[in-house]
Structure 1
Amino acid sequence: MAVHWCTVPAPRPVGALTLVVSDAGLCCVAFGDHPEAATAAATRLGTEAVEDPEGTEPARTQVLEYLTGGRRTFDLPLDWRLTAGSPRTVLQTLFAHVGYGATITYAELAELSGAYVGHGYTAARGVGSIMGSNPLPVVVPCHRVTAADGLGGFGGGRPAKEWLLALEGVLTPAFDLDLG
């Protein structure tokens, strides 16, 4: 069965998001209008990608509701097959335990997930790497994971991370920040 994909608009600095949905659920969110992200996800899942906004409807609706401040949690099915092992454990822990308006450090997430017990600094770096390869950003909220001494990085760029955290009330929005 093919994966379905669409691109949804998002306020700047987030920009557009490409959503990819398999028969099992949302499997990929990519920053920007990137049909190639859908093709790559489909290839990894052994199928083809079809542009189909109707086939992505529940995911599209929930992401748009979140981006406009009308949704705080995602309750759509997620397809975790694009990640495995410790990365999947860490991402599932993040999704289950770090809610809207909350943050957690890389080291705290490493400890909470149990994936890197006793590894200290290396654990925090490992979690940072996992956040950078998160196939479901925004929905699996890697923007809520911060460095011990600041915001840390983000695959969508620091301005997008700041915008998402301001949307959730973690940061005070800048005067020129459009929160929808």
Structure 2
Amino acid sequence: MTETLAFGTVDTVLGRLLVAETETGVVSLHFRDTPAARARTAKATGLPVVHAPDRPAPALSALRDYFAGDLKHFEVPIDWRLTSDVQRQVLTTLYESVPYGQVVTYGDLGDRSGTGVHAQVIGQVMGSNPIPLIVPCHRVVASNGLGGYSGGSGVEVKRWLLTMEGALPATLDWDITRAP
């Protein structure tokens, strides 16, 4: 059986998210559904794209539940093919050990993952995470603040996600229905 790639979208307060899934699991998540994002994912995986809306449906449903505040842990299958061995080790550690509402520093995640890589490298791994939100790179912070975030419109999305999860206190003007 030839492996294939299917796309699905979900509308959230952060915009329309694009999820790509193989028979193995979710392979990528983009903060915007664009033809370029679809083309980059298809090229990166090297798989033919098929119309299979049922395949990403569980991941899309989980994302809806997450943004509604009803899901605290994603349990969708992951396809790690777009990651290197070190990325996979770090991201798997993050996925399995940093729960909703908690954060870990870049350095602590490096130690926890057993990779022996420096905090700056962990930051690069977070910036190249092909499956943000589901693999929660927004929960990784600097030892002296939030650190960066390459998802959505940047660090304000990270702040919004951490506030939604309760890891950061809400400011008086914070609104779960309004994206940064």
* TM-score after normalising by structure 1: 0.90
- Residue 171 of structure 1, CA deviation: 1.2
Query: What is the correspondence of 1:98-109 to structure 2 with a 5 Å cutoff?
Result: 98-109=98-109
Contact 2:8–2:57 (8 Å) recurs in 1:
no
8 Å contact 1:39–1:48 — kept in the other structure?
no
2:133 maps to what in 1? 138
The residue number in structure 1 matching 2:176 is 179
Within 5 Å, give how 1:9-20 maps onto structure 2. 9-11=11-13, 14-20=14-20
CA distance in 1, matches of 2:38, 2:96: 25
In the alignment, is residue 126 of structure 1 matched against residue 128 of structure 2? no
1:177 Cα deviation from its structure 2 partner = 3.1
Describe the shift of the 1:138–1:47 C-alpha distance in structure 2 as closer, same or farther (beyond 3 A).
same
Matched-pair identity in %: 39
CA root-mean-square deviation = 1.5
3-state SS, counterpart of residue 28 of structure 1: strand
Q: Which amino acid aligns with 2:176?
A: L
Kept after mapping to 2: 8 A contact 1:143/1:165: yes
Task: List runs of 5+ in structure 1 lacking aligned partners.
Answer: 118-122
Using the TM superposition, give the Cα deviation of residue 52 of structure 1 relative to its aligned residue in structure 2, in angstroms: 4.6
1:50 CA displacement: 3.8
Partner of 2:150: 155
Aligned length: 173
Distance 1:65 1:35 in 2: 26
Cα distance in 2 for partners of 1:51, 1:102 equals: 37
